[in-house]
A and B are shown apart, each in its own frame.
Chain A
Amino acid sequence: MLSSRTITVLLRLWQALPVLFGVIVVTFLLTRALPGDPAVYFAGPAADAESIAEIRKSLGLDKSLPQQFLIYLDDLSRGDLGQSLSTGQSVLADLTTRLPASLELTFAALLLSTMIAIPLGILAALNPGHLIDHACRLLVTMGVSLPTFFTGLVLVFFFYYLLGWAPSPIGRLDFAYLPPPHVTGFYTIDALLAGDPETAWAAAAQVFLPAVTLALFTLAPIARMTRAAMIQALSSEYIRTARAAGLSSRKVILTYALGNAMLPVVTTLGMVFSFTLGANVLVEKVFAWPGIGSYAVEALVVSDYAAVQGFVLSMAILFVLLNLFVDIVYTLIDPRIGSAT
């Protein structure tokens, strides 16, 4: 007999299926609506109407929309995401090279952000209404008000142009270094695994500024939610019981209050992660980061429909998996959830 938690997880998976299907449909329609004719692009500048028509036929673009959709589904089931017009490679290959770059950036940003935002939120919650609370609030609000591309530019201006502390914003690694052998796709981790601390440090230096840019933006929701959840938890009746039983404030705050406050914070983290994956686009442009964000922008601008489709689809799947992960973590933290289906 399956445990109730397993049932919850399976149920979530089941509920995710129609969403996935919806995403596939919307993606398909959107990309078909993009301006620009891939057949013209493929045929080249010297083509005439006839060769364009031939190419269109070979690409399957002369068929009706529903037919094209079925072909698309068929391709998907075999893992074929099509060819990218701009890179000439299969979209799947493109994505597998560029996704780790974005993930590394996003994880680095979230790590930085959480390390600052959660303690900040707790601190603010322990001193509500005092100076430190207002200061925290102002700080994080300012962080979220800055457009990421602007922050990135300012940081580049200060730390690269003026101070020369940061390396030039040209991507994941300076020309002087070679990328480490591929294990996870994360340059920092792979370099360490290969026993090459120099490259690891260089990679970390490159990812630092863009991660800070992203992190500034994500500070606010995490800190605000931590604060709100902690305040809610601290004013609960079970905290009163714990205090009346003489439990130390460390136990009360960390085990009793924070444990309960973590539930909404975990949800927020999930939302922030997925939001950041999308906001990557702007940061990757500023720092010339070869991630999927910049891949998508380039593809959109030239109406590279296969690439765009592949990108959006993979992001959506990632998102669904992420939500699932958050739900699982949630059921692990909160024993009540498992019984509530």
Chain B
Amino acid sequence: MQDQQFIAAIANEADGQVEAADPLKTLRPTQSAGASSTIAHIAYVLKSNPVTLVSFGLFFLMVLAAVLGPYIVPYDPLASNSAATLQPPSWAHWFGTDQLGRDVFSRIVIATRLDLFIATSAVALSFVIGSILGSLAGYFGGWFDTISGRVIDTIMAFPLFVLAMGIVAALGNTVENIIYATAIINIPFYARVARGEVNIRRNAGFVHAARLSGNNDLRVLALHIFPNALPPMMVQISLNLGWAILNAAGLSFIGLGVRPPTPEWGIMVAEGAQFIVSGEWWLAFFPGICLMLAVLTFNLMGDGLRDMVDPAQRT
């Protein structure tokens, strides 16, 4: 399993190092005039890759939708209108109406807030817990490493989605429980990356130097070693945000997630699924596309985030 963690670390790194493996690094050391400031570096990363720029733009739009949602939607997402059920997309209802006459577009915009909230909370939780667990295991080794390794293995022994299902089924269909379940099943990924990254560096020269400078073990781990694990973590975080949304949507799809009438992308697809075979495609299609765009955005942001956080990318 140790080898696998190392390989996971390689995979995360290798993607980035492909660009960084410049044979000329030894040829002529870059003698640029001073290091760029953080803002300038962020701007550079955004400019250098159009994909990054687009993904960040989309992310910004999503956040806007989440924040301003209730104030800008044309219809009340919960208001049913029996006179206008199952209307295809039109000027009045851009994305059509569902079987209760509710405006699909409004529901989708409002759902952004819930889905983003679930995703970011779950990921934040698992990032913090996983990083701490993994870093301590990778640095100190010994019994802590063995035990936490076993715990992680146990979590990963369950088909993750099923574990989430089980937790939510056992604890109840609330938003909090969905967040906890999602957080738990994602902890292993952060723990593994953190452990791998910390383990590689624990005998590096600068780590010894940090100890010689009077830092105790915890300071060395937290302030000197762990920040170096952030670039691959960023990739992990962005991928996870996507998975978390898919997870919540999946749970809702099978009835173990958010309860109707709350608008949530997954539940909207579930409710719309039965209408696909009869040709009313818009109920499921638009929320599904939104899901895809959201997850795609997060996936594409990963590389950009990593570049922003990695000082080696600064020229």
Contacts and interface: CB of A to CB of B under 8 A. Distances in A.
* Any A–B CB pair closer than 8 Å: yes
Interface of A: 15, 18-20, 22-23, 26, 30-31, 33-35, 128-129, 134, 138, 141-142, 144-150, 153-154, 156-157, 161, 224-225, 227-229, 231-232, 235, 263-264, 267-268, 274-275, 277-282, 285-286, 296-297, 300-301, 303, 308, 311-312, 315-316, 319-320, 330, 337, 340
Contact of B157 (A145, A301, A316): A316
Nearest to A161: B277
Contact of A267 (B7, B284, B300): B7
Nearest to B293: A145
Given A147-B246, A228-B10, 18 more contacts: A23-B157, A31-B166, A34-B169, A142-B296, A145-B295, A147-B288, A149-B273, A153-B284, A161-B276, A267-B3, A278-B158, A278-B159, A285-B254, A300-B165, A312-B163, A315-B159, A319-B158, A340-B3
A264 B7 contact: yes
Contacts of A296: 162, 165
Q: Which 10 A-B pairs have the closest CB atoms?
A: A278-B159, A150-B288, A22-B154, A228-B14, A33-B170, A145-B295, A145-B296, A264-B7, A278-B161, A316-B157
Contact of A145 (B1, B11, B242, B277): B242
Interface in B77-129: none
A274 B167 contact: no
Interface string B271-307: 0010011010100110010011101100110000000
B291 A320 contact: no
Contacts of A303: 169
B296 A281 contact: no
Contacts of A279: 159, 161
A149 B269 contact: yes
A319 B159 contact: yes
A138 B284 CA distance: 24
B21 A235 contact: yes
Contact of A26 (B154, B242, B279, B295): B154
Contacts of A267: 3-4, 7
A330 B2 CA distance: 13
A237 to B, nearest CB: 12
Interface of B: 1, 3-4, 7, 10-11, 14-15, 17-19, 21, 51, 150-151, 153-154, 156-163, 165-167, 169-172, 242, 246, 249-250, 253-256, 266, 269-270, 273, 276-277, 279, 281, 284-285, 288, 291-293, 295-296, 299-300
Contact of A275 (B1, B160, B285, B288): B160
Contacts, number: 171
Given A34-B170, A319-B157, A281 B291 contact: no
B165 A297 contact: yes
Contacts of A148: 250
A19 B276 contact: no
Which of A128, A147, A263, A301 is packed against the most chain B CB atoms within 10 Å? A147
Contacts of B19: 129
B292 A274 contact: no
Contacts of A18: 150
Which of B17, B254, B273, B281 is packed against the most chain A CB atoms within 10 Å? B254
B123 to A, nearest CB: 16
Nearest to A225: B11
Tell me the dominant secondary structure on chain A's binding face.
helix
A228 B162 contact: no
B242 A128 contact: no
Which of B17, B19, B161, B300 is packed against the most chain A CB atoms within 10 Å? B161
B254 A141 contact: no
B139 to A, nearest CB: 21
A198 B161 CA distance: 36
B18 A128 contact: yes
Contact of B292 (A26, A35, A142): A142
A150 B287 CA distance: 9
Given A150-B292, A153-B269, A157-B281, A35 B4 contact: no
B253 A22 contact: no
B159 A300 contact: no
Contacts of B165: 281, 296-297, 300
A154 to B, nearest CB: 7
A95 to B, nearest CB: 14
A293 to B, nearest CB: 8
A154 B282 CA distance: 11
Nearest to A326: B4
Contacts of A22: 150-151, 153-154, 157
B11 to A, nearest CB: 5
Contacts of B300: 141
A300 B166 contact: yes
Nearest to B243: A144
A19 B169 contact: no
A23 B276 contact: no
B90 to A, nearest CB: 21
A142 B299 CA distance: 9
Contacts of B151: 22
Given A22-B151, A228-B11, A149 B253 contact: yes
A146 B292 contact: yes
Contacts of A301: 169, 255-256
A157 B255 CA distance: 22
A144 B242 CA distance: 9
Nearest to B168: A300
Nearest to B160: A278
Contacts of A320: 157
